[in-house]
Amino acid sequence: MPRLLLPLLTLTIAALAAMVLSVSYGSVPVPVADILAVLQGQGSELQRTLIMDLRLPRTLSAFATGGLLAVAGALMQVLLRNPLADPYVLGLSGGAAVGALTMMLLGLGGLFISSAAFAGALLATLLVFGLAHGMGSWTPSRLLLTGVVVAAGWGALITLMLALAPAQRLPGMLYWLMGDLSYARTPAPALLVLLLTCLLVIPLGRSLNVLARGPMQAAALGVSVQPLEWTVYVMASLLTAVAVTTAGSIGFVGLVVPHMLRLVLGNDQRLILPACALAGGTLLVLADTLARTLIAPEQLPVGVITALLGVPTFLYLLSRSR
Amino acid sequence: MRPMLLVLVVMLVPAMAQASQRCAVDDTGREVCLAAPAQRIATLSPGATELTWAAGAGEQVVAIVAYSDYPPQAQQATSVGSHTRIDLERLMSLAPDLVVAWVTGNPAEQVETLRSLGLPVFSIEPREFEDVASVIERLAYLAGTEVPGNAEANRFRTGMAALADEYAHRDPVRVFYQVWNEPLMTINDQHLIGKVVTLCGGDNVFGELPRLVPRIDREVVIAANPEAILAGGMGEENRHWLTYWQQFPGLLATRQDNLFFIPPSLIQRPTPRMLEGTRLFCEKLDRARARR
Amino acid sequence: MAGLILQQLVIDVPGRASGTPLDIHVQPGQVWGVLGPNGAGKTTLLHTMAGLRPARSGQVVLADQPLAGWRRKALAKQLGLVFQERQDGFPATVLETVLIGRHPYLSPWQMETAQDLTVAREALQALDVAHLEERLVSTLSGGERQRVAIATLLTQAPAIWLADEPTNHLDLHHQVAVMQLLTQQAAAGRAIFMCLHDLNLAARWCDHILLLYPNGDACWGPAARMLVPAALERLYDQPLVTVEVEGAPFFVPRK
């Protein structure tokens, strides 16, 4: 038990520290004493607006999005028994992007973009799963191949839409594709989904450990393989859809966070999945803080920062591991 | 007569009760009301900045975005990012009492956030010459600078009308207007620049295309064989866009030497400077007519 | 009825005639060896007997219930399988791998208990791989991996053991150790059913033999009756010389 608790406790502390940092830093300096005052319901009106209306919701959205993406990535990797799998490779984000960009082309905003992104991600999921199922039973390699090809199709559609888009809509579309937490408004739905996921995924953890050894072996050890695979796939798709709906398409988190954790913590899904929620959230909170403040008042796309932070960290861990 | 008077009184009572309140309808149809004339204005696009200065409220502008470069003294205000991505924190910290947003240029979510934080947001999107004048008048009203604002709006309105009177009915010149080089882009008749072409008595060879800013192939330009080519672009250093066309002596525009540069800042922003740009445009087309 | 019962079972080998339906009762205490040349369907038979693959016809019955009616988790407590091919997609240590054998006994929310850990460590001890506990399985030799796989089944502790070439990759000493372990398990009341390549290991350790022919024919019975040179020569299409060592037949291919 302490084997699981110690890393999770460490990651929780890191996550809280990242959130405190994110709430403390912005393009407008607010002294720590004033932040504490605001959190106690005092402070000036401007400071309340900055902290409670802008920074805190954005920080929580970043945390939820990062956590969702990392958990979805970890689930996909176990499902496909392929370390390169992530929700983006399977074309989920492509479907979401096509949905969102369509709404932007039509000049619709806000809720329309979110719902279309969500619908697009689910459509992509059904498409890939349906096609991979095809005539016979699906295998991980068939699912992966179908996903990659469908993703390429989405990619082409996205390029087409960008080419046909009126010039004044282009920046918004590009920023959406790069991922942008300034679009995130209420963090509650994403946080709720993340919490539910963690509760759901922990009891599945040991079954997933067994599934990682192949479906036959898992079945022989008492795992009902097909229902489990369906559950995992649908779950990963929903998580991605919610994440993409919250913050646009942010790549890289789903691929790299689970691997970083595996290099350090081993491959027990009961540990890795909640750890992904915490570490993915932490990474995105830090990245978004930098994106907001690095060259303020200009704002950077958060996806750039996640990659710039994640790539060296990942390579360092990889070179150190066996 | 009596009932009429009564109606008038009934209508005037609420108006008098809110005598100090100023309301204007923005380009999305929303009514924006201020309790007092705006003293701290945030302008979220270069065009919005320029129009607010044109409305005589330049001194009240406290927040601008990247490329808000006209008039030059506008740049003394604090920048709050770019029009595609606004630093909301910095904007809020400037405590604006009016935000002038750009309907199709600013992210809808960020503008929505500003509204939800209780800021009055006036969204603009001028699509006609008259819209430019009208936006200036409405901004001047909200800022309490009606005198200089209305004067500027009228100068623009009458200036454009005078140009139309002078040039619109002259012999048509077939025109290709080049917005950008790579990819090659032009405008159709619905675009504000397209309307400049028409006002100057020009005939936009791509005016019928369905998209506002179509991307086109060089071949179709050569096939359309315009009598004059006018180019804008970014900055003033792009004469090579025009020299490119000189390698096609078969082009009427090249043969007649009707390759003209129009400073983009004078014509690509829907602001009163368009009057100057339009005058220049009309003069170029007239020069093309003279070379026939 | 205890044990595993094959009723009119025809395994599904694509493109092959159905051949002889199998009617076999694998009883507790018995050690069965399946012999047959490559492609005779030995692995397919084991997978079918474990309910991992549908039969073409007939059924496999465990405790009066066809396998299809069993929940996988309940079945895993009764019946386990050592696979010939194993994939380790993600790195895992030897101890983690063996502990997986406790999966059918734990509820979703439960962590492995100290007792599960003890069972796993004893299994590692029994298979002589306790010293590898913290090693990654992917860094082990073929023989060590094979022993880890058998230790996993020992940890799973089912009543019926199916094993696909359990002596693969093993040196002579460990081959004998594994066969001894399997016969001990049988003596303790478990039913053992394994595929073997090595005729002589079968002759020495199995009490029942199933001969699987490539065309789907089959015959089975007590080892003494099945291990006759004529049948084996037909099975492998290879002339044999038989000698007797310590009271058991020993088969050597004729040059």
For residue B244, tell me if it sits in a domain: yes
Q: How far is A213 from chain C (nearest CA, A)?
A: 5
Query: What number is the average pLDDT over the span A7-28?
Result: 93
How far apart (Å, rounded) are the C-alpha atoms in residues C77 and B162? 95
C: neighbours with 3+ CB pairs under 8 Å? A
Residue A24 has phi, psi (to 5 degrees) of -80, -30
**Pairing mode, strands B61-64 and B41-43:** parallel
> Does pLDDT of B211 surpass 90?
no
> Residue B3's pLDDT is what?
47
Tell me, what's the pLDDT at B143? 96
Q: pLDDT band at residue A137, thresholds of 50, 70 and 90?
A: low
Domain assignment of residue C254, yes or no: no
Average pLDDT over residues A157-185: 81
Contact between A223 and C156 using a beta-carbon 8 Å cutoff: no
Q: Do A207 and C103 touch (CB under 8 A)?
A: yes
Pair B269, B186 in one domain: yes
CB interface of A with C, residues 161-180, below 8 Å: none
What number is the average pLDDT over the span C121-139? 93
Q: Do A210 and C101 touch (CB under 8 A)?
A: no
Higher pLDDT, B7 or C221: C221
What is the b/e burial string over C72-88, where b = at least 16 CB atoms within 10 angstroms of the residue's CB?
bbebbeebbbbbbebeb
Q: Are residues B86 and B129 in the same domain?
A: yes
* Boundary-marking domain end, from B124, B157, B190: B157
A-chain residue closest to C107, CA distance: A203
Rounded to an integer, the average pLDDT of B60-65 is 96
Percent of chain A with pLDDT over 90: 31
> What's the whole-number average pLDDT of chain B?
89
Q: What is the pLDDT of residue B19?
A: 56
Q: What is the pLDDT of residue B16?
A: 47
Q: Is the pLDDT of residue B125 over 50?
A: yes
Among A56, A160, A183, A186, the residue to mutate for chain B (most B Cβ within 10 A): A183
pLDDT band at A245 (very low <50, low <70, confident <90, very high): confident
What letter does residue C102 receive in the DSSP assignment? G
Q: Which of B64, B83, B84, B89 is the best substitution to test chain A (most A C-beta atoms within 10 A)?
A: B89
SS3 for chain A is: CHHHHHHHHHHHHHHHHHHHHHHHCCCCCCCHHHHHHHHCCCCCHHHHHHHHHHHHHHHHHHHHHHHHHHHHHHHHHHHHCCCCCCCCCCCHHHHHHHHHHHHHHCCCCCHHHHHHHHHHHHHHHHHHHHHHHCCCCCCHHHHHHHHHHHHHHHHHHHHHHHHHCCHHHHHHHHHHHHCCHHHCCCCHHHHHHHHHHHHHHHHHHHHHHHHCCCHHHHHHCCCCHHHHHHHHHHHHHHHHHHHHHHHCCCCCHHHHHHHHHHHHHCCCHHHHHHHHHHHHHHHHHHHHHHHHHCCCCCCCCHHHHHHHHHHHHHHHHHHHCC
Q: Is residue C49 part of a domain?
A: yes
pLDDT exceeds 50 at position B15: no
Q: Which of A129-138, A278-287, B65-74, B76-85 has the lowest mean pLDDT?
A: A129-138
B147 lies in the same domain as B263: no
Q: Which tops the pLDDT comparison, C35 or A311?
A: C35
Domain shared by B239 and B265, yes or no: yes
User: Residue B224 above 90 pLDDT?
Assistant: yes
B258 shares a domain with B137: no
Q: Between A314 and B58, where is the model more confident?
A: B58
Q: In this predicted structure, what is the pLDDT of residue B233?
A: 67
**Over residues A290-313, mean pLDDT:** 84
On whether both B98 and B147 belong to a single domain, the answer is: yes
Residue B17 has pLDDT above 50, yes or no: no
Asked if A208 is an interface residue toward chain C (Cβ–Cβ < 8 A), one would say no
Q: Chain A residues with CB inside 8 Å of C81's CB?
A: 220
Structural domain range at position C206: 4-228
State which fold the A2-320 domain adopts: ABC transporter involved in vitamin B12 uptake, BtuC (1.10.3470)
Is the pLDDT reported for residue C48 higher than 60? yes
Q: C48 CB near a chain A CB, below 8 Å?
A: no
CB contact (8 A) between residue C52 and residue A213: no
3-state secondary structure of B262: coil
Mean pLDDT of A222-243: 88
Please work out, in degrees rounded to the nearest 5, the angle formed at the alpha carbon of residue C30 by the alpha carbons of C25 and C34: 75
Is C233 a domain residue? Answer: no
Distance of alpha carbon A219 from alpha carbon C50, whole angstroms: 9
B18 pLDDT exceeds 70?
no
C-beta neighbour count of C204 within 10 angstroms? 18
Distance CA B239, CA B186 (A): 17
Q: Work out the pLDDT band at B1, boundaries 50, 70, 90.
A: very low
How much is the ipTM here? 0.90
If asked whether residues B183 and B125 sit together in one domain, one would say no
A222/C88 touch (CB, cutoff 8 Å), yes or no:
no
Q: Is residue B7, in this structure, part of any structural domain at all?
A: no
| Highest mean pLDDT of the ranges A109-123, B104-118, C79-93, C145-159 | C145-159
Query: By the CB < 8 Å criterion, does A110 face chain C?
Result: no
- The residue that leads in pLDDT, B211 or C49, is C49
Mean of pLDDT over chain A: 86
**Within-domain flag for B261:** yes
B100 pLDDT more than 50: yes
Band of residue C122 on the pLDDT scale cut at 50, 70, 90: very high
Give the Å distances, CA to CA, from C55 to A267, B87, C209: 35, 66, 21
pLDDT computed for residue B2 by the predictor? 46
Residue C33 forms contact with A (CB below 8 Å) = no
Tokens representing residue C104 in the block: 């059918």
In this predicted structure, the answer to whether residue B6 has a pLDDT above a threshold of 70 is: no
Map out the domains of chain A as residue ranges: 2-320
Q: Is the model more confident about A79 or about A285?
A: A285
- Which residues in chain A have their CB less than 8 angstroms from residue C97's CB? 213
Q: CATH number, domain at C196?
A: 3.40.50.300
A78–chain C Cβ distance below 8 A for any pair: yes
pLDDT in tens, A46-55: 888 888 888 9
Are residues B83 and B269 in contact, defined by beta-carbon separation less than 8 angstroms? no
C166 reaches A (C-beta below 8 A)? no
User: Of the ranges A38-52, A53-67, C215-229, which one carries the lowest mean pLDDT score?
Assistant: A38-52
Question: Which of B105-114, B250-259, C124-133 has the least mean pLDDT?
Answer: B105-114
Mutate to test the interface with C, among A79, A144, A206, A273 (most CBs of C within 10 A): A206
Which subunits have 3 or more CB–CB pairs within 8 Å of chain A? Answer: B, C
What is the average per-residue pLDDT within A128-144?
Answer: 73
C99 interaction partners in chain A (CB closer than 8 Å): none
User: Residue B145: pLDDT band by 50, 70, 90 thresholds?
Assistant: very high
Whether C119 has a pLDDT exceeding 90, the answer reads: yes
Instruction: Please say if the pLDDT value at position A83 is more than 50.
Output: yes
Average pLDDT over residues B206-232: 91
Report, as an integer, the average pLDDT of C41-62: 94
Number of domains in chain C: 1
Give the mean pLDDT of A67-74. 94
pLDDT at C189 over 90: yes
A83, A87, A88, A94: CA torsion to nearest 10: 160
What pLDDT shows up at residue A236? 87
Question: For residue B77, what are the contacts with CB-CB under 8 A and spacing of at least 6?
Answer: B49, B61, B62, B63, B64, B68
CA distance A179 to chain B (A): 12
Q: The domain that contains B22 carries what CATH number?
A: 3.40.50.1980
Contact A78 C90 (CB under 8 A): yes
Q: What residue has token string 């791509």?
A: B206
Confidence band, pLDDT 50/70/90 cuts, at residue B226: very high
Give residue B85's pLDDT band: very low, low, confident or very high (50, 70, 90).
confident
In a domain, B6, yes or no: no
Q: Residue C22's beta-bridge partner residues?
A: C9
Residue B8 maps to a domain: no
Report yes or no on B282 lying in a domain: yes
What percentage of chain A reaches a pLDDT higher than 70?
95
Structural domain total, chain B:
2
Q: How far is A123 from chain C (nearest CA, A)?
A: 29
> pLDDT tens digit string along B158-186?
999 999 999 999 999 999 999 888 788 89
Residues B127 and B209 in one domain: no
The pTM for the full model equals: 0.84
Which residue, of B157, B180, B209, is where some domain finishes? B157
CB contact under 8 A, A221 and C77: no
DSSP string, B26-88: -TTS-EEEESS--SSEEE-SHHHHHHHHHTT-GGGEEEE-TT--SSGGGGGSEE-EETTEE-H
Q: Nearest by CB to A210, which of C80, C88, C100?
A: C100
Three-state DSSP at C66 gives strand
pLDDT at B7 over 80: no
* Residue count (chain C): 255
Establish, for the pair of chains A and C, how many residue pairs have beta carbons separated by less than 8 Å.
88
Give the residue on B whose Cα is nearest the Cα of A292.
Answer: B87
- Partner residue opposite C52 with nearest CB, options A203, A219, A268: A219
B124: domain range? Answer: 16-157
Is C117 at the interface with chain A, CB within 8 A? no
Residues of C in contact with A207 (CB under 8 A): 103, 108
